[in-house]
Structure 1
Amino acid sequence: MAAVPEDFHHPYTPYDIQLQFMQALYACLEDAKVGVFESPTGDENEPDWIIEFAKRESTRAITDKKNELEARLAKTRLEEERLKTTSENAARPRKKQKFDPVAGEPKPNAQSDSQFVLDEYNSDAEELSMPTRRVESDRLSASTLALLERFQGQVSTHDIDRNAEDEEIKIFYCSRTHSQLSQFASELRRVTIPSSIPSELNTGDKTKGSELEERVKHLSLGSRKALCINPKVSALENSTAINERCLDLQQHGVAAEQKCPYLPSKENEALSLQFRDHTLATVKDIEDLGMVGKRIGICPYYASRSVIKHSEIVTLPYPLLLQKSAREALNLSVKNHVVIIDEAHNLMDAISNIHSVSVTLSQLQTSLFQLTTYARKLKTRLKGKNRSYVAQVIRLVSSIADHLQSVLKGNTALEGSVRASDLMAGKGVDQINPYKLTRFLQESKLARKVDGYIDFSQQQDKTNSRAKTTTPVLFHVQSFLLSLMNPSAEGRLFYLKVQDDIQLNYMLLDPTNHFREIVEEARAVILAGGTMSPMSDYVNHLFSYVPSARLGTFSYGHVIPPENLMVMSLPKGIDGLEFDFTYDARDSEKMVMDLGKTVATVCDVIPDGIVAFFPSYDYLSRVLSTWKNRPINPKGDSILGLIQQRKTVLWESRDTTGRSEELLQEYSNTVNSGSGALLLSVIGGKLSEGINFSDRLGRGILVVGLPFPNIRSAVWQAKIKHIEEKTYQQSSGPEASKQSIAKAAGRDFYENACMRAVNQSIGRAIRHRNDYAAIVLIDKRYNKPDIQGKLPAWIRQSLVSSPTQTPVRTIVNGLPKFFAGHAKGSTRNDH
């Protein structure tokens, strides 16, 4: 067990539970473990373990190198502070570049379609016996990877760079969005960590107290969409179009004046070094990095790659870390480094979503029309191999479309599973070599050529010109074809009928193997989140192969004292009806009316703002309809009117998802005006995650029912079956025992998906030490020990037992007393 330091250089005095969190995290990293951390405090701090490796390096050569780099960074920081950017720009005269309207091609004659002809392609030299790289949904081709490798070789750097070994341990800090990563960067600026350069080797002037300060070297990595500074490319807005345009501008054969002028090269090596120094001089987020690139005149997307090896902390969004092809493109290795996944409660779903892809019948039909038009018009100019492969793509797309058409017209369920063999049963499809066709799709730029040709043709006709704001349809189709021909063992195919169309989904059911390489290569892997409970999925599924000695789960309490939270379950309503919001029973009109009366009663005793979460938009809509239209007395008063006598009622719907900020602002204004408000929301909706209902905005959280996924759906049937089969294979003992264990594992996985969503919604209310709130769980199933056991520990410790036979009136008697005890601080907002 690692010795844990006493000082973590926290910018403020940490709470005891924060200190415990940091101590456990430090030990986990030092002992090279995999840890799952739940800490609702929202504290994000890096301990000083990151400097220990450097402290152990005592050779003067390494220290001199550090001193030289730190001196450069110190100088650069001063330059930034003095804003001496004008002279830098003046020293770099740049010729104006001309950009052609068609990416990557010589400027065409307005009447010519020659630029859309596929380059000659020959696959005879392929080594089919060699393993094929798993194709991910971002469509990074072998040629793209080769191009990036050439780029890496082109950009030489200072002697420091060439001699530097990528030995020092780095932290790769990953979260869902750039805004979350920017927040982390902002917090990192608060941290001051002592230098790892031994004092006797520091080259600063110690007599004047000017020893070199060693700052935390941080780098933000992002996508082209986030970092592109070429206005002709970034203006395309769509990520796929930006990626393709960028790559096309770099292809061989493109005239020098048409290439992107911002790409790093040997000729602008000095700019690459300058970009590196500015990047590391101070902690910068992704927007800062883009501004540095613009100011210096070099592409921050590519220039940032040579900065990785000089960085100590690298922040990046999920896709750049979780996709192997993306890591390869970045030349990013996690071997012997630390990986921290923040907001990790949705990690398993995120991995599955990244490696899943969908396509609709209408998209297939559109792409089929485009492909056949392209092949017919240019057939005399397509070489033999190209003509053959284009014909294969047409046959394959036609086969898939025909099968979907038969499913759409057939008397089948609205959703179901699909066999790959049925999709590929068309005439001649069995003659297709999937490996060769995969390589052709990746390297030929067929999708871009076809899309360009169709657009060119429409412009020539000057009719039905297509807007270029969406991803070209053939890219959707190509993504699906690549997954279909390179399926994961854990992948399954499903269809879903949507009005007059049908959607075909390739879904990854199990993310384990896609995350395994990261876990096995990294020194340590940390999953962290405010709400990670229930944690059994991580232990039993995501990390099932990790030895128990290397795996740990850690759950920490909240910074609030237990008396600041009151949690209760309501198994019955005002009228004494049992609350059973299971799928088959939840439409009982009597129960919905009793729910309304109960909510009105709760609104009487909880002050300020209350947020109520429902299982789905459809169910919330049905409840609202009943509350509005069913009278509760001869005068015709409604339940909704009864509630509105207590608080203003606002609600979320599918139609309001685009204006969530407006709804939140209206809710906030209403609460702060003193009249109080009830916000009806949906678990898994826009307001159930990432939104803080602190202080008066969330004095009460109501959870109506349990948001179990539809177990009758083909997707969930397949997920549970996969879990059961996997558990059965890993179990030992008698047959009956193995089957029982497998069934229990499937049931546990299903319950966990539900309770993880509930816990995310509950966590919206308590946001700082002086906050307080009441949480009311409305369903008889919340009284079950196995359901309560899946609540976070800090929630369970404040759970008030509620006898199943006690009317709700006696239960809510405790709420006025609870809020009376906190009334004096009701408007305090002490973070």
Structure 2
Amino acid sequence: MEELTASISVKALVQHTLMSGDIDDRYSGRSTALEGIRGHQQLQRARGQGYEAERRVAGTGRFAVCGDRVREGDDPGADERVVVVALNGRVDGVFADRSPVEMEEIKTLRGNPAMLPESHHKLHWGQLRIYAHLLLAEIDSDSIVLRLCYLNLDDGQEHTYETLASRASLHDFYIDTVARYCRQLVRLADWWALRDTTLGAPFPLGAFRPGQRALATTAWRTAIAGGEVVLQAPTGIGKTMGVLYPAVRALEGGHREKVFFLTAKTVGRQVAESALRDMQNVGMRLRSVTITAKEKVCFTGTACDPEVCQYARGYFDRRERAVREAFATDHLDREAIEQVARAHVVCPFELSLDAARAADVIICDYNYAFDPVVYLRRFFDADDSSPYVFLIDEVHNLVDRGREMFSAGLDKETFLEARRGAGPASRVGKLLMRANRWFLEFRKSLPDLAEQGIVTSGELPARFIARLRTFVSEAEEMLREGLDDDTQAALLPVYFDVVRFVRTAEAYDSATYVSIVEDRKRRFRARLFCVDPAPQLREGLARAAASVLFSATLFPKRYYERLLGVREDAQWYALASPFPSENLGVFLLPIQTTFRARERTASEVAGAIATFVRAKPGNHIVFFPSYAYLSLVAEHYAAESGEEVAHQTRHMDEEAREAWLARFQIGTRVTGFALMGGIFGEGIDLAGDRLVGVMVVGVGIPQPEVERDLTRDHFGEEGERFAYQYPGMQRVLQTAGRLIRTEADRGALCLVDARFTQPFYRELMPSSWAPKVVQPARFNEALYAFWRGATETSAASVASSAMTGRDAATAASGEGT
């Protein structure tokens, strides 16, 4: 058999193989990377003469593997496979001139290390023992002193643990640990070999849609060569399949290890899952895992506390069998994960994360790659390289989501509510009351707050942050000691909010952040707002070797180029619409829809809607910038037309959303009123006569708020556009994209607002549009002229632009281009 080789850091090795026992999230004493470096350097400088800091160690072992049997050696039997494992790492410190030699591993944290779960201690000692084995291969000694030192950054105290280890015991530990890894690696390599034989399967749709070939070729080249590409492709072209199919083909032969499909919304996840099923139907074997948010899949609704949650207790002792049995099916969506988790009594969220290690494609939210609190450290904090491909769906959403992920806020009232839930006289209640007093002292330190109601600053409230760190340490101690269910339920939400606030403070930079303190309507709030997400988005993008960012609306380029955090050498492509331009009628109706004019013109808008709907029997959706405006016009429309409207309502769940969409069928005549930028504003696919008309009322400008005003001020001359106008127009363009989904679709798009006729907004419209300014009195005439003149795209034209499945596979491999 062919040798299997792997290079892995010692830290990653022990994380792969030595986790055991319970999930226990009651301690979050992780320090930032910068704090850790400084803490290490502080102790290393204090160690004195003879101390060698940051000593590199490495070693290569050869093992013969057959099933679960692993032995050291390179003389394999007929049924054995040779696995070569190269380990590397860097020891924090060594006293090589002492007898016996002393080796030290330093861990920085916030809080008392005695509160660390036992599983964490086991990992730290395992890392130290492997380091020691590698070091003893370089020196002549039969034993070595192992020292594990924890530095508490909160008080500067060192907590040191020592043991004497023999060469023989360390060698045995090394063999046992690497053997576990070899078994995992062989199983994974066997899967890769099987998978690779199927990746040449034909393009699942049989033929590329017009324009999809260029999309696939660009995605393929980026996945193979690395780097970043930003793709603007029209709605309906099939962007998800167009980037996912070539990306998974880049896995063949180990060019890339995993594909992360990152999406902001449920519908994006569903489309990606559907694309993978289509690939399976043409013979591709791909393991995929969908990661669903912890709060959505949690079976108990409690904390990850082994004392109260059976799915957390003993999780790591059952996970390997659960993961192996989970992949009896290739695609692990939420339902499949939950089914396996219940059968094995394991946490479904953690199971999805562990199954992801063996997956080829991971479908998840943006935050698992970008959020500094929850990003997947098991993949992205590894010392070895990150041979991943990021496919970032609807990337226009990433700017605002980035601001959201990198910001944090606290509300004083939340602490008081938690105190009432925990009981004022309890330890937790007293801690929450102390926190309340810290808020009051913070408020007193801001003399302008009482008069102005809001104070902003580029400076971090350092004293307040220090006290919040005390809150975290004391709360963790109480959680570790154990609390009754009601008290824990009251404390945990506040605790997690404070942890996020403190961690956000660690990334605070006056060039990209603003501190906001509000005291209005008897509510006191503190917020760390990330006004410029680009630097931290850049950190997230750097976690992949290749990134394909795609959307239908990336106008204007300078806005996204400035805020997405992409590299300076990133490639940008805008694909032209492949659909016949005459199939889309675009009308600009100059009715005033500004906030002050809405009451006055609501009846006129309702009349325009009635005209729009009557011109073409079928299904129409009208989008509004707010629920209040939607309701106002709906009242006038009911009086004008007497027709019932399908309203989008607040807080619609997935079932209600699907029921709303199900009303729009071929042959029905439904008029829907929906929210611009909401759940129906993007990602829905109502092809053909399921939707014949879309009207957008207003230019989509977000409502004024403190954060947007700060964004406006931050970006100077471009501020108004960056904060309000560009985000508003992006909502308009996304909403308009619901209409034309295939080359055979025809539809009318009406933009209602006098501002749409201005050069600024006209320049932001796609070049494929031919907008006509129509006065309300001539609107009916213009609509009827469009529908009379619209023609079906001939079947011959469609056929001539199609590609065969063989051509599609060639395009995805980059051949012939």
Common topology (TM > 0.5): yes
Amino acid paired to 2:674: S
Query: Equivalent residue of 1:600, what SS?
Result: helix
Q: How many angstroms does 1:776 deviate by? A: 0.7
Instruction: Tell me the equivalent position of 2:641.
Output: 643
Instruction: Tell me the equivalent position of 1:607.
Output: 617
Query: Equivalent residue of 1:799, what SS?
Result: coil
Amino acid paired to 2:405: I
Q: 1:533 to 1:242 in 2, by over 3 A?
A: farther
2:247, 2:369 → 1: CA distance?
23
Instruction: Tell me the equivalent position of 2:770.
Output: 799
Amino acid paired to 1:494: I
Matches within 5 A, 1:460-539: 472-477=493-498, 479-480=500-501, 483=504, 487-489=508-510, 490-494=512-516, 501-539=523-561
Instruction: Tell me the equivalent position of 1:279.
Output: 327
The structure showing larger relative contact order (alpha-carbon pairs under 8 Å, at least 6 residues apart) is 1
Instruction: Please list the CA deviations of residues 287-338 of structure 1 after superposition, one character each: whole Å capped at 9, or x if unmatched.
Output: 2123233335555544555554543322222222212443354344572321
Instruction: Tell me the equivalent position of 1:619.
Output: 629
Instruction: Tell me the equivalent position of 2:70.
Output: none
Instruction: Tell me the equivalent position of 1:187.
Output: 275
Matches within 5 A, 1:397-796: 397-400=439-442, 410=450, 412=452, 416-419=454-457, 430=463, 434=465, 438=469, 441=472, 444-445=475-476, 448=479, 452=483, 455=486, 472-477=493-498, 479-480=500-501, 483=504, 487-489=508-510, 490-494=512-516, 501-543=523-565, 546-547=567-568, 550-558=569-577, 560-571=579-590, 579-584=591-596, 586-587=597-598, 589=600, 591-624=601-634, 627=636, 640-644=638-642, 647-652=643-648, 656-658=650-652, 665=659, 669=663, 676-711=669-704, 713-724=705-716, 743-744=717-718, 746-748=720-722, 750-791=724-765, 793=766, 796=767
Matches within 5 A, 1:299-318: 299-305=347-353, 307-318=355-366
Instruction: Please list the CA deviations of residues 582-633 of structure 1 after superposition, one character each: whole Å capped at 9, or x if unmatched.
Output: 345x2462x44433333333333132222222222233344456x3xxxxxx
Amino acid paired to 1:216: L
Amino acid paired to 1:708: I
Instruction: Tell me the equivalent position of 1:221.
Output: 291
RMSD: 4.4
Q: Are residues 1:44 and 2:230 paired?
A: no
Q: Are residues 1:327 and 2:349 paired?
A: no
Contact 1:9/1:48 (<8 A) preserved = no
Q: 1:471 to 1:671 in 2, by over 3 A?
A: farther
Contact 1:533/1:759 (<8 A) preserved = no
Contact 1:616/1:707 (<8 A) preserved = no
Instruction: Please list the CA deviations of residues 726-785 of structure 1 after superposition, one character each: whole Å capped at 9, or x if unmatched.
Output: xxxxxxxxxxxxxxxxx1465355321111111121122233343221001112221233
2:427, 2:314 → 1: CA distance?
39
Aligned length: 589
Q: Quote the sequence identity (%).
A: 17
Q: 1:777 to 1:518 in 2, by over 3 A?
A: same
Amino acid paired to 1:762: A
Query: Equivalent residue of 1:536, what SS?
Result: helix
Contact 2:460/2:515 (<8 A) preserved = no
Amino acid paired to 1:235: T
1:368, 1:323 → 2: CA distance?
29
Q: Are residues 1:264 and 2:316 paired?
A: yes
Q: Are residues 1:819 and 2:787 paired?
A: yes
1:13, 1:395 → 2: CA distance?
66
Aligned with 1:396 (options 415, 438, 443) = 438
Unaligned runs of 5+ in 2: 1-198, 794-798, 803-817
Contact 1:218/1:283 (<8 A) preserved = yes
Instruction: Tell me the equivalent position of 1:146.
Output: none
Matches within 5 A, 1:335-350: 335-350=386-401
Unaligned runs of 5+ in 1: 58-166, 195-212, 229-233, 251-257, 380-388, 425-429, 457-465, 572-578, 628-638, 725-742
Query: Equivalent residue of 1:539, what SS?
Result: helix
- Flag the structure with higher strand content: 2
Instruction: Tell me the equivalent position of 2:228.
Output: 34
Matches within 5 A, 1:96-245: 168-177=256-265, 180-191=268-279, 215-225=285-295, 228=298, 234-236=299-301, 241-243=302-304, 245=305
1:217, 1:367 → 2: CA distance?
43
Contact 1:611/1:700 (<8 A) preserved = yes
Q: 1:435 to 1:472 in 2, by over 3 A?
A: closer
Amino acid paired to 2:367: P
1:401, 1:697 → 2: CA distance?
56
1:662, 1:53 → 2: CA distance?
38
Instruction: Tell me the equivalent position of 1:13.
Output: 207
Q: Are residues 1:364 and 2:415 paired?
A: yes
Q: How many angstroms does 1:347 deviate by? A: 1.0
Query: Equivalent residue of 2:410, what SS?
Result: strand
1:818, 1:715 → 2: CA distance?
43
1:377, 1:323 → 2: CA distance?
29
Query: Equivalent residue of 2:391, what SS?
Result: strand
